[in-house]
Amino acid sequence: MVIYYIETPPPSLLSWTPPPFNCIKINVDAAHSDLKASIAAVARNHDGVVIKVWAKSIPLFSPIQAEATAILWAAQLAISETWTNIIIEGDAKLCFDALSSTPSSANWSIMNIIDNIKSLTPSFVSCTFLWVRRLCNIPAHTAAKLALATDFSFCFSSNILPPPLRLACMADCPLVS
């Protein structure tokens, strides 16, 4: 059974929160310059422990297309990791709104990406898409900026995070070091 829904966080939510037990939360973000773009995904468990951080360069799209591509990539990564209960969280409100709306009301430039994301949801027992403020998405933002600045694609596990990512994750969830 697939549970597919969108949540909007309460306005008071000012920091990252861990997912429920037996669920993986994947925070996503995109970064772009005039010449290039990158996307990132940060997966953490119910204890807030970083499982993996991925980032890569992508063709230069509009910012909203890059953000939607990050959400799609997170779903694809979750499938490849065989995670069945996921929350995909990010700060691109237009993309998360498009996931909850009828196709005709979504921004035309991301409709195909949104349809592709929705087509992956039957792969999960539960799949939640959650819009959050940028303040709740700092590690994903940091990873996307790092990939943009270095031109490298990467996948890190929690024990080999580069210093900027380690600091962002520690600041985001101080109980985990």
pLDDT band at 15 (very low <50, low <70, confident <90, very high): confident
| Interstrand relation of 126-131 and 3-7 (parallel, antiparallel or unpaired) | parallel
Close Cβ partners of 96 (under 8 Å, ≥ 6 residues apart): 6, 71, 90, 129, 130, 131
Please state the rounded mean pLDDT for residues 51-63. 92
Is 5 a residue whose pLDDT tops 60?
A: no
Task: Give the predicted TM-score (pTM) of the model.
Answer: 0.90
Is 80 a residue whose pLDDT tops 90?
A: yes
Please state the rounded mean pLDDT for residues 35-63. 94
Residue extents of the structural domains in the chain: 19-169
At 153, list the tokens: 């694609």
Specify the DSSP class assigned to residue 52: E
Q: Give CA separation, 45 vs 51, 100, 169, in Å.
A: 7, 25, 13
Fold classified for 19-169: Nucleotidyltransferase; domain 5 (3.30.420)
pLDDT band at 104 (very low <50, low <70, confident <90, very high): low
- pLDDT of res. 105: 64
Is 22 a residue whose pLDDT tops 60?
A: yes
Is 10 a residue whose pLDDT tops 70?
A: no
Specify the DSSP class assigned to residue 19: P
Task: Report phi then psi at 10, rounded to 5.
Answer: -65, 150
pLDDT tens figures, 83-99: 999 999 999 999 999 99
Please state the rounded mean pLDDT for residues 125-140. 95
- pLDDT of res. 176: 61
| Interstrand relation of 37-44 and 50-58 (parallel, antiparallel or unpaired) | antiparallel
